[in-house]
Amino acid sequence: MRENHFIWFITSSVLGILIIIWASIAPSLTLVPGDIWMLVPGIILVFIGLLGIMDSMVSDRILLKYISKMENGRISLFKLSTDLNQEVSDLREIILTLRGQGKLKVFFDEDTGEIVSSTLYQGITCSLCGEPITTEHFCSICGTEKLVEQIK
């Protein structure tokens, strides 16, 4: 769902730029319909697209900063939701996206459902997604092979 929003914002910006270009050349060409007033919706579309992209980037940074400053390295998803004033489902999606990108090294505790920093876990964690590795050679979540240093 998050990628759909991102694609919509990029499409909105590109469409706005195309409308701005069209509005710029339309008055000088007699065969191209359009008017200089088409600049207004083009600028609005570009503004909406850029604002949406920046909002997504800011929410990612806020979450990364908040999780990096957790006191005991554990927090429930509901407390995080109330502290950051976001929906639980949105936060879960952001966390999974950031884990997939390798920007966030946390995992969900399977007993309590809390978010746990990978630095607190004493066992072997995946170098890509931060999930505890319980199998011999590969992460069961993302399939990444264990590093040689972690096996020894």
pLDDT tens digits, residue range 9-59? Answer: 889 999 999 999 988 888 777 766 778 888 899 999 999 999 988 888 888
Nearest Cα to Cα of residue 142 among 132, 124, 128 = 128
φ/ψ of 7, rounded to 5, equals -65, -40
Helix 39-68 to helix 2-25 angle (10° resolution) is 150
pLDDT at 152: 36
pLDDT at 149: 45
| Span 71-115, pLDDT tens digits | 777 888 888 889 888 888 888 888 888 877 778 878 777 778 788
141, 129 Cβ separation under 8 angstroms: yes
| Span 111-148, pLDDT tens digits | 787 888 766 555 666 666 666 666 666 776 666 666 54
pTM assigned to the model: 0.65
